[in-house]
Amino acid sequence: MNADRIEVHDLLVRCIVGINPEERVNKQDVIINLTLYGDLLPAGLSDDIEDAINYKTLTKRVIDHVEASDYLLVERMAHRIAEIAIREFGVQRAVVSVQKPGALRFARSVGVVVERTAADFA
């Protein structure tokens, strides 16, 4: 598998996520980190956005999706973000981290990291 990757760090999004009653009403911050694996050689050779994984468009799609969502679990949110990257943007493999700051007392944040490939969505 190709080792080329795009990294998006500390994307801050507000959304409904959680199982507690107050989490179902009040939007919370989540921090999303993405590592997106794909073949970046064509874009490196051509210098043409049409040959690239357009991370600006992908990130906007993720923000729009998460802001409109109301997941119970961050696990589901991370899975769906990976699915969007792979199915809609042709990413070969996605590593997605979703963190909820302040979700646990005495912890800065808590979250999950999932890794998915196209085979996970066949």
Give the domains, in start order, of the chain with CATH numbers.
5-121 (3.30.1130.10)
Residue 103 has pLDDT above 90, yes or no: no
Q: What is the pTM of this model?
A: 0.95
Task: Give the pLDDT of residue 76.
Answer: 98
User: For position 102, what pLDDT does the model report?
Assistant: 85
Cα angle for residues 79, 88, 26 (degrees, 5° grid): 45
* The pLDDT value given to residue 1: 64
Burial class (CB within 10 angstroms; exposed 0-12, middle 13-18, buried 19+) of 6: buried
pLDDT digits (tens, 9 = 90+) for 23-40: 999 999 999 999 999 999
109 residue type, one letter: S
If you average pLDDT over residues 53-82, what whole number do you get? 98
